[in-house]
Amino acid sequence: MNKEQASKKIESLIELLNQYGYEYYVLDNPTVPDSEYDQKLRELQQLEQDFPDLVMENSPTQRIGGAPLASFQKVTHNIPMLSLGNAFNEQDLRDFARRASNGTDQPISFVCELKIDGLAISLTYENGKFVRGATRGDGTIGEDITSNLKTIRSIPLSIKEEGTLEVRGEAYMPHKSFLALNEQREKNEEEPFANPRNAAAGSLRQLDPKIAAKRNLDIFLYGVGEWENSDLTSHSEHLARLKELGFKTNKEWKKCNTIEEVIDYVNYWTEHRNDLSYEIDGIVIKVDSLDQQDELGFTAKSPRWAIAYKFPAEEAMTTLRDIELSIGRTGVVTPTAILDPVRVAGTTVQRASLHNEDLIREQDIRIGDKVVIKKAGDIIPKVVRSVVEQRNGDEEGFHMPEECPACGNELVRLEEEVALRCINPNCPAQLMEGLIHFVSRNAMNIDGLGEKVIIQLFQENLVQTMADLYRLDKEELLQLERMAEKSVTNLLEAIEKSKENSLERLLFGLGIRFIGAKAAKTLAMEFETIENLQKATYEDILAIDEIGDKMADSIVQYFAEEKVTELLNSLRELGVQMEYKGPRKSEQATDSVFSGKTVVLTGKMEKFSRKEAKEIIESLGGTVTGSVSKKTDIVIAGEDAGSKLDKAEKLGIDVWSEQQLEDVVGK
């Protein structure tokens, strides 16, 4: 066989084997026996061995996993992968439906989907080729796990779609794969995985793809992040189209026209969840219309057009042996139950939250009690109640101390708060927790400064404040246990590099009450420098979208503290960046044609990529959305623009050509 013949044969075998694989792994409906598939695969492998330069990226032989990686590269999601707000009962669902209906003029329909208990991932295709797979991470930055995701056979390596398509879904481990994996681990005298979700996440974060390939993972695709050439108008159309393209979607989704239908769907799957061959931990409810999704928009943390209903938590009974107190970085004293180990919702629990003294008193929880625990949202263990009828008289009551267990300062209860607080700004427990937060991934992101290292540095009196981190001395560090030359050098380089971070990381790292990573980014973009934010009034801050009254009040109070001014002065003198490094509002032309306008891009563009066009419009003060609605101001239409262009013309929206965008850029 010559090279030309081999090339044609390889192409035909790949097409045939990929079709067989789609039928087996996606449709669960194989059309040929395994022996037929295996024979064709061996034939392909032999041809690829004989003609190695003819190996194609979409060949099924490329799923077995390449060489081990040194580490995972970071990936920035062009469109953030936001988490969803939670609903825990029927009233929460009705409240969600009411809020959604109040936010739009048209009748609303919903799509209900099973909430798969796995690892959220993103798959990016360029002109039909699978080019990148990433974890959700913090929603903005994830990790590139392309090699591991290629081992999941229900993920197509190529699709028939031009342009950029980024789809989102949940990678999971079926029950069958989970049981087989744990059996093997027990034979190897390894610790078994606690539940399928942990097993799936652990498998996809293996640096050696060959390990992931052996774990038999699967995936359901449930949404779209970016779709360059889509003219679809609803989420249900997205699901149907993804299935047509060869993606594996969950067949159990349902479109509901009323909240009563939603509740019926939720009740059915609450009862039948154990009939499935995979784990689910709830139901996701989304507004179906993409226009209405745009109208409803987002809060700082989650979309207003979707919610996750969490199943009632599994409960278990055990003995409460002791109550420990911990001091958080804001001074709140939190009691934690120390329990006899017990299995709940797939994991072994030994500690559970008691929240505050009022809860302990109201529920008459005593040390030595038999207690019922559950996992709130199937994640955080908490004590539900004590089992009074099983008391034997040896149980002991619990009372919160009057003084902070870490510093001896008097504990206080602030107005309208149930929690006790230590308000000593020099409390060592608060200082240490604040340092741990300051160096964390979403804050200053200092590699090598984990919790154990911070505790060690604090106990050795090398750091007491955030500024002290930038004063660390190499010779002092080398005297510490487990601190070698290379690790100390790497640590000091990471600390030095963190000085260059943009303002939003510093703001989040400071630990201002109520200010999360998203709010910190909003504040940094608005005020641009720490000095501007320090001078801002309550009214200035409250005027910003997504910043509420509690947040504004907290910011003003924080910057009024003398010790905060001293800390910021020290950080500035040590070279820490105090400015926002992203696109600035002050650089956006206020008289730009895009200023304050909502813009939609549609069709194929020749002179700009979709990402470039979006960045240009945003830099000129505009907002780019994915679908056309009455709130849209401009539609920029490239070649083969479809239903979005039609809708814009019907609504009388200003339609631009790509040339008009280029003219604006030129000016």
The string of pLDDT tens digits covering residues 39-60 is 888 888 888 888 888 888 888 8
Note whether 303 and 324 are within 8 A (CB): no
* Beta pairing partners, 318: 371
372-386, 577-591, 603-617: range with lowest mean pLDDT:
577-591
Same domain, 197 and 322: no
Both structure tokens of 638: 């490239």
In this predicted model, what pLDDT tens digit does every residue of 258-291 receive, in sequence order?
999 999 999 999 989 989 999 998 999 999 999 9
Distance, in Å, from the CA atom of 87 to the CA atom of 258, rounded to the nearest integer, reads 17
Q: Is residue 253 part of a domain?
A: yes
69-73, 440-444, 548-552: range with lowest mean pLDDT:
69-73
Q: Which residue has the higher pLDDT, 25 or 74?
A: 74
Q: Is residue 578 part of a domain?
A: no
Give the pLDDT confidence score for residue 282 in this predicted structure.
Answer: 93
DSSP codes of every residue in 212-277: HHTT--EEEEEEEEEETT----BHHHHHHHHHHTT----TT-EEESSHHHHHHHHHHHHHHGGGSS
Q: What's the average model confidence in pLDDT over 501-526?
A: 91
Measuring CA to CA, how many Å separate 409 from each of 48, 140, 177, 458? 73, 40, 53, 19
Same domain, 121 and 198: yes
Same domain, 321 and 466: no
Same domain, 543 and 614: no
Same domain, 337 and 288: no
Which of 514, 541, 573 corresponds to the end of one domain? 573
Query: What's at 504, amino acid-wise?
Result: E
Note whether 539 and 545 are within 8 A (CB): no
Distance, in Å, from the CA atom of 199 to the CA atom of 178, rounded to the nearest integer, reads 7
| Nearest residue to 363 via CA among 337, 341, 342, 344 | 337
Q: What percent of the chain has pLDDT over 90?
A: 50
Note whether 623 and 585 are within 8 A (CB): no
How many residues does the structure list for the chain? Answer: 667
Same domain, 490 and 538: no
**3-class DSSP string for 531-552:** HHHHHCCHHHHHCCCCCCHHHH
15-29, 126-140, 455-469, 641-655: range with lowest mean pLDDT:
15-29
Distance, in Å, from the CA atom of 93 to the CA atom of 100, rounded to the nearest integer, reads 11
Give the pLDDT confidence score for residue 502 in this predicted structure.
Answer: 93
Q: What's the average model confidence in pLDDT over 461-478?
A: 94
Same domain, 550 and 629: no
Which of 391, 417, 437 corresponds to the end of one domain? 391
Distance, in Å, from the CA atom of 44 to the CA atom of 15, rounded to the nearest integer, reads 11
Q: Is residue 21 part of a domain?
A: yes
Report helix angle 549-560 to 562-573, nearest 10.
Answer: 70
Local confidence band at 68 (pLDDT 50, 70, 90 cut-offs): low
Average pLDDT, the chain: 88
Please give the tally of structural domains in the chain: 6
Residue 484 falls in which region: left (phi positive, over 0), alpha (psi -120 to 50) or beta? beta
Distance, in Å, from the CA atom of 635 to the CA atom of 652, rounded to the nearest integer, reads 11
Among 70-84, 158-172, 308-322, the range with the most confident prediction by mean pLDDT is 158-172
Q: What's the average model confidence in pLDDT over 98-125?
A: 94
225: Cβ contacts below 8 Å, ≥ 6 apart: 77, 78, 79, 81, 122, 166, 167, 168
Same domain, 9 and 152: no
241-245, 482-486, 613-617: range with lowest mean pLDDT:
613-617
Give the pLDDT confidence score for residue 586 in this predicted structure.
Answer: 52
| Nearest residue to 597 via CA among 519, 641, 656, 527 | 656
Same domain, 479 and 616: no
Same domain, 488 and 510: no
Give the pLDDT confidence score for residue 418 in this predicted structure.
Answer: 77
Q: Is residue 580 part of a domain?
A: no
Distance, in Å, from the CA atom of 580 to the CA atom of 564, rounded to the nearest integer, reads 19
Q: What's the average model confidence in pLDDT over 482-508?
A: 94
In this predicted model, what pLDDT tens digit does every residue of 163-206 receive, in sequence order?
899 999 999 999 999 999 988 887 777 777 878 888 898 899 88
The CATH number assigned to the domain holding 376 equals 2.40.50.140
Q: What's the average model confidence in pLDDT over 428-454?
A: 92
Q: Is residue 579 part of a domain?
A: no
Q: Is residue 155 part of a domain?
A: yes
Same domain, 169 and 134: yes
Q: Is residue 404 part of a domain?
A: no
Note whether 60 and 21 are within 8 A (CB): yes
Structural domain boundaries enclosing 338: 315-391
Give the pLDDT confidence score for residue 378 in this predicted structure.
Answer: 55
Same domain, 518 and 646: no
Q: Is residue 540 part of a domain?
A: yes
The CATH number assigned to the domain holding 632 equals 3.40.50.10190
Identify whether 115 is a catalytic site residue. Answer: yes
Of 115, 150, 286, 310, which residue is the catalytic one?
Answer: 115
Q: What's the average model confidence in pLDDT over 634-648?
A: 83
Helix (H, G, I), strand (E, B) or coil at 651: helix
256: Cβ contacts below 8 Å, ≥ 6 apart: 109, 110, 111, 112, 262, 265
Which of 278, 310, 342 corresponds to the end of one domain? 310
